[in-house]
């Protein structure tokens, strides 16, 4: 029987982490281990570590807020056959562990879940999640879609890049070229709050411009600075 390690990068995400763990702990089929890689702000660092101890989560502290490095650190400590990477604000389906194992048993080296906004059901949200799902199938799905990889495929293809943005792109591309990558139809919930705050079209356009910049060869560090500068306006 295949085993699964869930790896969650955290930065000022303790409330979201608590919600996610509350969801996961209600499932009939539990992951074999959950690793939290925390680049917490000092005011919440102790609370995050304490929460992880209470919930029997493996706590890894990283003095770097780079998400790619967080994911690398989690994978380096994971002990299972499959690595499943979740954002703290994700809302995964209870069937996810079973479907991941089934996909791997059927030859998948990696995969992702269907992008779906949680708690909202408007024409606009349906349109954008459909567009994102099509784009991810034609190109590269991003980390908010609950990427998973076999440990062998992850290591063989070089793992995540130590980037603050687009850390998953090269890994997904390599896995898709060298093996089977499954797009599971089961949704993973995405918090629409940032999309609503930034504006649906503005956020979508910003994401596409950043992706185009990465394709042109701009540094992910530079692109990350532009992303957060725009987001904070």
pLDDT class of 41 with cuts at 50, 70, 90: low
Average pLDDT of the chain? Answer: 92
pLDDT for 54 beyond 80: yes
At 44 the pLDDT is 58
pLDDT for 93 beyond 70: yes
pLDDT class of 104 with cuts at 50, 70, 90: very high
pLDDT for 232 beyond 60: no
| Region 56-81 average pLDDT | 95
pLDDT in tens, 119-129: 888 898 999 99
Name 85's bridge partners: 7
pLDDT in tens, 171-196: 999 999 999 999 999 999 998 888 88
- Of the candidates 184, 187, 1, 191, the one whose C-alpha atom is nearest the C-alpha of residue 94 is 187
At 12 the pLDDT is 87
Rounded CA separation 75/69 (Å): 10
At 228 the pLDDT is 66
Q: Which of 48-52, 92-96, 120-124: highest mean pLDDT?
A: 92-96
For 77-96, give the DSSP string: H--SSEEEE--TT-B--TTH
At 233 the pLDDT is 45
pLDDT in tens, 203-219: 888 889 999 999 999 99
Rounded CA separation 223/214 (Å): 8
């Amino acid at each position: 029987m295949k085993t699964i390690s869930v790896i969650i990068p955290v930065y000022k995400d303790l409330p979201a982490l608590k919600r996610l763990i509350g969801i996961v702990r209600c499932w009939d089929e539990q992951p074999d281990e959950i690793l939290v890689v925390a680049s917490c702000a000092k005011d919440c660092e102790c609370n995050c570590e304490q929460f992880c101890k209470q919930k029997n989560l493996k706590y890894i502290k990283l003095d770097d807020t780079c998400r790619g490095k967080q994911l690398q650190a989690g994978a380096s400590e994971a002990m299972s056959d499959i690595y499943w990477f979740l954002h703290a604000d994700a809302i995964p389906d209870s069937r996810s562990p079973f479907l991941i194992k089934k996909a791997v048993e059927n030859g998948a080296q990696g995969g992702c879940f269907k992008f779906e906004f949680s708690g909202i059901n408007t024409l606009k949200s349906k349109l954008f999640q459909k567009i994102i799902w099509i784009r991810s199938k034609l190109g590269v799905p991003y980390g908010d879609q609950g990427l998973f990889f076999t440990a062998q495929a992850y290591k063989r293809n070089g793992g995540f890049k130590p980037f603050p943005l687009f850390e998953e792109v090269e890994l997904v591309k390599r896995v898709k070229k060298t093996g089977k990558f499954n797009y599971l139809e089961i949704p993973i919930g995405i918090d629409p709050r940032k999309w609503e705050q930034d504006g649906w079209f503005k956020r979508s356009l910003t994401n596409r411009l950043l992706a185009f910049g990465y394709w042109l060869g701009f540094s992910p560090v530079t692109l990350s600075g532009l992303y957060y500068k725009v987001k904070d306006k």
